[in-house]
């Protein structure tokens, strides 16, 4: 027995034949009259086409519908009572996840929250889809439990000692040497000697010196008394 995903959206009905179970499912889009979807305006016309296309005796379907189009879902399910219903219709979270990510007309990689009791999907982006069957319908959350991650070991902090040579200090017993700079030694001390002790130059010697400096161009050197 084949299973079917029937999605409603924006007044359109997309029909997918499903084979396989869980993550191994494969979906094949049925194309009414060569189109990708069937109009949702005439529910009886849709089921007439569906019966002729699939020739199913027992229908196991998962209806997917945006929350704001629930009236279309209600009418479509009511018109499908012409089919024999599957005794147990069970769909898995992994199947819905693969359908939305791979086979849907507008695929999405968003994660969703599965509310099993309310039969509802809430995507991270805020979009809400209602899920339903014809009568008996069950959802199973077969998502594997989140892997437990071991706590990250704390990194050992090492203290690094940097060697610094001890500062050289003057030993207490050492006496700093006397500073006698050369400049201090060359500073002339104030002479207490009287001026008379210094060498005297005679007028004759001075006149001779001036004559030599002027190449004897001076006629004479006179001194004021």
Q: Residue count of the chain, please give it.
A: 225
∠ CA 28-67-101, rounded to 5°: 35
User: What's the whole-number mean pLDDT along residues 166-183?
Assistant: 52
Give the count of alpha carbons within 13 A of 131, CB side only. 26
Q: Is residue 31 part of a domain?
A: yes
What pLDDT is recorded for position 10? 93
Place of tokens 């700093």: 176
What pLDDT is recorded for position 162? 42
**Statement: residue 75 has pLDDT above 70:** yes
**Statement: residue 225 has pLDDT above 60:** no
C-alpha closest to that of 80 among 47, 48, 55:
47
**Statement: residue 206 has pLDDT above 70:** no
The pLDDT > 70 percentage for the chain reads: 66
Q: Is residue 183 part of a domain?
A: no
What are the contacts of 72-76 at 24+ separation with CB within 8 A?
Answer: 72/8, 72/11, 72/40, 73/8, 73/130, 73/132, 75/43, 76/6, 76/8, 76/13, 76/40, 76/43, 76/46
**Statement: residue 215 has pLDDT above 90:** no
What pLDDT is recorded for position 205? 73
Distances (CA, A) of 69 to 25, 42, 142, 208: 27, 15, 28, 137
Q: Rounded to an integer, what is the distance from CA 208 to the centroid of its chain?
A: 103
pLDDT confidence tier of residue 184, bands split at 50, 70 and 90: very low
Task: Please classify residue 171 by burial: count the beta carbons closer than 10 Å to its beta carbon, then call 0-12 exposed, 13-18 middle and 19+ buried.
Answer: exposed
Q: Is residue 77 part of a domain?
A: yes
What pLDDT is recorded for position 83? 87
State the residue range of the domain holding 96: 3-140
What pLDDT is recorded for position 69? 95
Q: Is residue 215 part of a domain?
A: no
**Statement: residue 2 has pLDDT above 70:** yes
Count of beta carbons in the 10 Å neighbourhood of residue 58? 11
Q: Is residue 170 part of a domain?
A: no
pLDDT confidence tier of residue 195, bands split at 50, 70 and 90: very low
Q: Is residue 169 part of a domain?
A: no
Q: Is residue 125 part of a domain?
A: yes
What's the rounded Cα separation, in Å, for the pair 15 and 28? 8
**Statement: residue 18 has pLDDT above 70:** yes
pLDDT confidence tier of residue 210, bands split at 50, 70 and 90: confident
Task: Please classify residue 17 by burial: count the beta carbons closer than 10 Å to its beta carbon, then call 0-12 exposed, 13-18 middle and 19+ buried.
Answer: middle
Q: Which of 56-60, 111-115, 146-150, 178-182 has the highest mean pLDDT?
A: 111-115
The tally of domains found in the chain comes to: 1
pLDDT confidence tier of residue 173, bands split at 50, 70 and 90: low
Mean pLDDT of the chain: 79
Q: Is residue 92 part of a domain?
A: yes
What pLDDT is recorded for position 158? 43
């Amino acid at each position: 027995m084949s299973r079917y995903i029937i999605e409603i959206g924006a007044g359109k009905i997309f029909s997918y034949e499903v084979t396989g179970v869980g993550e191994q499912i494969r979906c094949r889009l049925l194309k009414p009259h060569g189109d990708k979807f069937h109009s949702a305006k005439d529910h009886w016309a849709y089921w007439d086409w569906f019966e002729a296309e699939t020739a199913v005796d027992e229908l196991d379907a998962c209806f997917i519908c945006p929350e704001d189009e629930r009236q279309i879902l209600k009418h479509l399910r009511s018109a499908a009572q012409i089919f024999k219903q599957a005794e147990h219709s069970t769909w898995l979270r992994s199947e819905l996840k693969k359908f939305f990510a791979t086979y849907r007309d507008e695929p999405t990689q968003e994660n969703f929250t599965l509310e099993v009791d309310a039969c509802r999907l809430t995507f991270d982006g805020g979009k809400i889809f209602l899920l339903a069957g014809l009568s008996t319908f069950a959802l199973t959350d077969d998502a594997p439990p989140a892997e437990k991650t071991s706590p990250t070991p704390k990194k050992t902090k090492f203290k690094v000692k940097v060697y610094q040579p001890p500062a050289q200090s003057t030993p207490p017993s050492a006496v700093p040497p006397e500073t006698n700079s050369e400049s201090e030694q060359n500073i002339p001390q104030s002479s207490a000697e009287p001026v008379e002790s210094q060498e005297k130059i005679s007028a004759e010697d001075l006149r001779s010196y001036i004559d030599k400096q002027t190449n004897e161009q001076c006629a004479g050197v006179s001194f004021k008394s």
